[in-house]
Amino acid sequence: MAKKLKVKQIKSTIGAKPKLRATMRALGLRKMNAERVHDDNPVIRGMIARVSHMVKVIEIDE
């Protein structure tokens, strides 16, 4: 079974540095409370680590 990650934006990108904004956009998060499901891999984990203070992550088994 492949693991998935549900990523939810809990903090606004207003006032964030451009690199962090770009990371949020790359994760598919544009607005508050937006949610996206991603495959669990090192690339996504690294992106989440950069913006960990702005997102909430839930692991899903599929």
Answer whether residue 1 shows pLDDT above 80.
Answer: no
Domains and CATH numbers, the chain: 3-61 (3.30.1390.20)
Give the tens place of pLDDT for each residue, 5-62: 999 999 999 999 999 999 999 999 999 999 999 999 999 999 999 999 999 999 998 7
Alpha-carbon 15 to chain mean position: 18
Reported as half-sphere exposure (CB side, CA atoms, 13 A), residue 2 has a value of 7
Report pLDDT for 62: 77
Report pLDDT for 2: 83
Which pTM was predicted?
Answer: 0.90
